[in-house]
Amino acid sequence: MFNLLKTAVLMAAITGLFMAIGSLLGGQQGMMIALIIALGMNFFSYWYSDKLVLKMYNAREVDETTAPQFYRMVRELAQRAELPMPRVYIIEENAPNAFATGRNPQNAAVAATTGIMRVLTERELRGVMAHELAHVRHRDILISTISATMAGAISMLANFAMFFGGRDSEGRPVNPIVSIAVMILAPLAASLIQMAISRAREFEADRGGAEISGDPQALASALEKIHRYARGIPMEAAERHPETAQMMIMNPLSGGGLRGLFSTHPSTEERVARLMAMARGAVAP
């Protein structure tokens, strides 16, 4: 419940940020233009993002004939979650990872790399796929699309400020120092809020996945193992398309300083601690 409330607060924050910046830099007209452009871009992403990302990763669709054990595992978990059967994909990739995509439960797909299928036990893999189905059940693709829409609109407003200068609601020029500050800081703030939303949704998917599988310890063990292996195996497709990082069960991107602040995922240690608290029947920290 806390993470659901946190997501709602963050969504309100990014919406409020958009409204404030739009009013400051472009007045009502500039704000509406930016929103319409961003909505158009994300409308396409919302309807076709699943096909695009699966193509980016050269994902191969499988069924009960081509991958019987894996397919049956997903089907059993989908039934436990009371979800329609998603399309199932395998990615020929050494880096251990998995993701879910699709605009709603009726048009969902789940994918796992061959790397994750090699390094995890069946019990651990089951926990991972339950996590991905929790994303489907929570309609996280919709939430991430909305947050991306607002972040994109804020960036566009900042670009308007760079090229045309800021205008207040009455059409008067804004102080150029204020315009420059907003141009630099607004997209950064929007990105930080968007990443915070992603981290909150990961906690909820961990909780939901543990409930679907009935085995929080298995998911905790899987996360620890993925974290160890993923650090030494680069995921080239993710490096080429960093915008897809938030979809993965574990952040696939290499990073340096300030990694925690700009990460799309919570720390593995905190995720594991919360899952182990669930396993003990305690209240998660």
270 annotated ligand-binding residue? no
pLDDT, one tens digit per residue, over 238-263 is 888 776 778 899 988 765 444 545 57
pLDDT, one tens digit per residue, over 88-107 is 999 999 999 999 998 889 99
Residue written as tokens 């595992």? 73
The reported pTM is 0.78
The pLDDT, as a whole number, for residue 96 is: 96
The pLDDT, as a whole number, for residue 283 is: 44
- What domain range includes position 116? 2-279
pLDDT, one tens digit per residue, over 30-44 is 667 666 766 676 677
Identify whether 285 is part of a domain: no
Identify whether 50 is part of a domain: yes
Domain count, the chain: 1
236 noted as active-site residue? no
Identify whether 124 is part of a domain: yes
202 annotated ligand-binding residue? yes
Check pLDDT > 80 for residue 123. yes
In the set 61, 92, 93, 132, the catalytic residue is 132
The pLDDT, as a whole number, for residue 54 is: 92
Burial of 262 (0-12, 13-18, 19+ CB in 10 A): middle
The pLDDT, as a whole number, for residue 182 is: 66
Distances (CA, A) of 185 to 17, 192, 213, 265: 11, 11, 42, 22
93 annotated ligand-binding residue? no
What is the rounded average pLDDT for all residues in the chain?
A: 81
Identify whether 284 is part of a domain: no
